Chain A
């Protein structure tokens, strides 16, 4: 390879990018997971003197957040019924209006307006508007920053989910959590650095593509944490191994593997010996992390854990906080799974659908923000709320209140992790159909997340297929400075 060292250049060798990753971000990530032959092969510096990945201190002077909790409202919540107050829209309820839309039904020139089905009020010192869907969350607005002007590239679930999770419409690219762990590594060796909690109704469509590591090593993909049974696949030793026998097995393996390694010059063998011990520790650490018996009644009440309606999401929100406390970098919590009204995809009866999903999540999410704050964790935990897109101001069908998908404009909010509270940026038009002022692409959200973690979104790259691949794409993207404290 030639000696090129200019940054911001489309393409370095794998060796070079690892070198930069080693100097710039964290060491744990790659050094921890790649076999030494890979490192031998790819990461010796140009003069061959030093492997830059081993033992470099993590240096992130700009980091505001240590962890991210992404509350994914799968299916696409309606912005005009939740946080994007459009007073005009109430007046046009039932009237047919020319307003272009693009959803699963394709492009339309206009349609029957469905007025917002909930009343809006101002809350907090900042006076942000919140609909009656979120009576609890409404009291947290002084900690939240609303972005009313997001837009995404696809109004279809399949590609829309990939867009929001992986930055691309085309399948095969790593998800945000993989990027974060690639850049930062995990602070906790006993737990995965990237955890996904799904709705009890099932996964979102695309399944594992939503937490894939794409062309990065599989060890960077999201690990599902279950709230029932063993939290992680194969974590629980089977009955015949539980208690003593597993220790005996591990001791025996350690003895045999040590004798085997001693006759060989292959550091990866030592690495695998350590992995067995780490796995053993994980068996204890992960159940401890998900053990809610340690939570006092006040916390249970705060999240709504004992209310059947909010129980499921409350449990996941408490777990998210516990994982943050244990150094897990990126946690994604899905609200909604499967198909149709099992998620926020309100094509039919808007009131039924959104009442259901907001009702299940309002108190748990408010509890999470409150709890993080009272523990002093909100400052270093970035919370993101939103779906893969929003919904249209018009009705999808001749009858009913259902709204079709809308990726031309939708609201998401962020809180904590160095985000300003009580602000709102961007605007949709008077009907809430399209972002028109201070528009932000999904890439800007991704850039903001990486930036708050101390990573430069336009520099964090992974060399693959002849390109310096980035989460924010070759176009690059700026963080949303207006909401950064």
Chain B
């Protein structure tokens, strides 16, 4: 046998020269060059990491926080050699890039040669500034940066411009000698406004109403009415939710091998839509997502009429959106990475800061240290991880809360029902007292598992037979020795939540297994999951049956008859299950004990047993039990498990700096705080977090942060959101890097205007709708997009807003518009996500092609794109092609690409062709006139009147199809509709 030392010997061979070997050191000049070029950036005069400064022989000898870096006694063991050996990536130096082999050899020889460092002038290293970057940050006050300053109150006092936005823009245009473009045509403006606010084209009726209003009330009044109407439309929330979902990288699966579904996370999406439609103030919108779960405990004054409701909890689904690997190679690191994902996203979304840069080292441009990064992390580090601080396929539920919808008029709240049931239980209590001695005194100690279900690794084997069986099959004496045997969990794979240990495809299955008893228990609980009808027997006695199916395991208290059927010794539990269609599954378990409503259960058993209670009392008890059953069955709102934030308790564990971002290399402990550069007071960490109450279940840190965003941090957070609002109306932010206001980003083209908007946002109580009105009533928003020679020549990228930038429809807008124009769009609001058909060849790319995608009914498949299921490993090709971002990382700004595969999809793809056919059918139905069909088609698709020239050209096209390609009228009409969907005029907004 091979010995362990043999393997060790092989490994040791790597370690290089023999210990203690003394070599001639290389020339100092060579060493000095390496040190200056490779080390000074972090260990030079103005930056001293780990307290290790390379300046002179003396500072070098002193070493850093962990002492000298050269071991004079045993040079081979010097820390300096260790960090350039690259055996431990956490210690590698320099952290960003390994040294070339030659330089490592030089340093090694130098250290082994005694690391001689001249004391005189040649021993002084060059000015570190010569080797560090000019970040623009070092020489100035770090807070003196546009994004961190207080909001400026500047307003150009030009009386000729009524709207402040136009005053700011006009001043800049004047400065650059640029003219301005005139107001666009009302048809263009209607289309622009409708898309910007709802993501859909205006309907003919809306168009008629707008033009009538202009004629009646004048343009300005008609415009104001239009904007109000669009903001009132529920389509508004659906469209603007999409912007937000890009930012928070919304997806409904976890990614990785199993790409498991995030159960009910669509409720977070609905929460966003609803919040926008209700114009929830942005500060509240942020607060509910960041800390909705902390409101009740830490800020009861923020409760809505004293009630929390499910909304703020669902909003904290924000923390459950990231990718999650259920079997990471390094669990400790995976937990740190998950937290970092939340931290980086939060910083980018709410603060437009690339804080994530400082996870491994101090930020290279912004004044954010690694310490700042982990101080910021500490605000969030007490949140239970996605897997409930664990991993594994069955995990991912450590943060589930059971919530319920708002009650409808015919429903009562769950709490009310529970209160009524509790009142009845109170009335039942005397009966229990009467039973004392019979039931209670002989209370079984703890629950004992008699038959484990398939979720338990100790689940027993079952004898099973598919199809029919003799009548006696459930009885103890039946001979099942010819039956097959398998572990429990019978069904077909893919049935949700099922643990299939044995495939069962047939119509019916019969199962038998045995368990032994040394004494008779007082009560039995059945665990079961059935799809479909199930029947359970104990020693031949039927004890339980249910119809239909369920989608998870549940428990029920078995009646007294079940207890009575038990015998000391061997018992047989027999189960039959019948199936008619769809997925199928059956599994049961059996234990002793009581379910939660213990009083009623005991009384019921006592009554049923007719042993311990007189007839008269029994009748009374029966009546109460019937009332209880009725009350329990009163309609209550739909309850569901929701993925939410949850903390580990009122105190968080200390947050360490993680060296190099590694969870295995812990540094100093830091206090929770936003980055120092954002703190309004010197030195003191912000936000200050009050001591949580003794019974608090969370730290209150996230809530404090969310409140800080609207208070001391308001200048930054309002600038960030005001810039995004501008971006989604004007095509680009006033700051062109909306996710990064730091020194890596671009400076805003109109900083004073941005400050003005930020202030206006705060002044309007953070109302998004008020801001939409404010932006859209400016002349700037209503400019035409036509080119001007002076503008195109002097300012081709339109920095000065001398015209309105044209824009392409987004992926979702394109799909929704095609559906709207064809007449197929289903405007249903809210609800679980839908699965429009995916081409078979796309499904085939999944590792389980059959289970990769759902199958929605046609009317559901025609819902708006925001309701399409977002699966990380399989996305809709049309969305991807038209630049919907990858949902793994936050996206502040979409790309806009222009590639031939887009044309293939919109021309050859099934979706657009099908919709063209529907569109053609509706045109054919509307009128028999070829000319009128064209006219109607153009009006509906392009939202403008159709000219005689349009009619002539389209008519000629269809004539060519009929004559040269022998197409019939309907086929030609379909191609005409397909052409409309492919026009640049359809895809682009002026």
Contact = CB atoms under 8 A, between A and B. Distances in A.
Whether both chains belong to one complex is answered with: yes
A209 B873 contact: yes
A248 B905 contact: no
Given A219-B897, A241-B908, A279-B907, A224 B845 contact: yes
Interface string B940-959: 00000000000001100100
B846 interface: yes
8 contacts: A10-B361, A11-B364, A153-B329, A219-B897, A241-B907, A256-B953, A273-B984, A465-B354
B317 to A, nearest CB: 19
A10 B899 contact: no
Contact of B908 (A157, A212, A235): A235
A33 B953 contact: no
Contacts of A429: 7, 10-11
A218 B883 contact: yes
A425 interface: no
B199 to A, nearest CB: 19
Contact of A218 (B2, B256, B895, B909): B895
Nearest to A221: B880
A97 B1 contact: yes
Given A162-B256, A208-B873, A232-B904, 8 more contacts: A4-B136, A37-B805, A156-B329, A170-B337, A272-B987, A275-B899, A339-B847, A466-B357
B356 A436 contact: no
A287 interface: no
Contact of A430 (B1, B7, B910): B7
6 A-B pairs with least C-beta separation:
A466-B354, A265-B787, A172-B888, A158-B257, A207-B873, A154-B329
Contacts of A283: 904
A276 B905 CA distance: 11
A244 interface: yes
Given A169-B329, A233-B839, A467 B356 contact: yes
Interface in A12-56: 12-15, 32-35, 37-38, 40-42, 44
Interface string A80-108: 00000000100010010111001010000
A97 B907 CA distance: 63
A4 B883 contact: no
B740 interface: yes
A92 B1 contact: yes
B975 A212 contact: no
| Of B135, B365, B807, B842, most A-chain CB atoms within 10 Å | B365
B953 A245 contact: no
Interface in B327-372: 327-330, 337, 341, 344, 348, 354-357, 360-361, 363-365
A203 B983 contact: no
A278 B900 contact: yes
A97 B2 contact: yes
A41 B897 contact: no
B896 A218 contact: no
B845 A4 contact: no
Contacts, number: 353
Contacts of A11: 357, 364-365, 744
A407 interface: yes
Given A97-B2, A475-B96, A170 B987 contact: no
B886 A478 contact: no
A302 to B, nearest CB: 28
A246 B744 CA distance: 47
A215 interface: yes
A431 B2 contact: yes
Contacts of A275: 898-900, 902-903
Majority-rule SS of B interface residues = loop
Majority-rule SS of A interface residues = loop
B83 interface: no
Contacts of B255: 171, 206, 209
Interface string B831-845: 000000001011011
Nearest to B896: A35
Contacts of B901: 192, 219, 223, 232-234, 279
B895 A430 contact: no
Interface string A453-485: 000001000011111000000111110000000
Contact of B328 (A156, A207, A263, A465): A156
A34 B895 contact: yes
A245 B873 contact: no
A135 to B, nearest CB: 30
B513 to A, nearest CB: 26
A279 B257 contact: no
Contact of A217 (B792, B796, B895): B895
A140 interface: no
Nearest to B850: A202
Contacts of A170: 323, 337, 341
Nearest to A240: B971
Nearest to B875: A208
B29 to A, nearest CB: 23
A256 B979 contact: yes
A253 B979 contact: yes
Interface in A196-224: 198, 202-209, 212-215, 217-219, 221, 223-224
Interface in A172-208: 172, 192, 198, 202-208
A275 B337 CA distance: 41
Nearest to B355: A466
B809 to A, nearest CB: 12
Contacts of A477: 98
Interface string B1-43: 1101011001101100000000000000000000000000000
Given A234-B908, A266-B988, A339-B848, A465 B889 contact: yes
A279 B2 contact: no
A202 B841 contact: no
B507 interface: no
A12 B348 CA distance: 17
A35 B808 contact: yes
Nearest to B348: A465
A8 interface: yes
Nearest to A467: B357
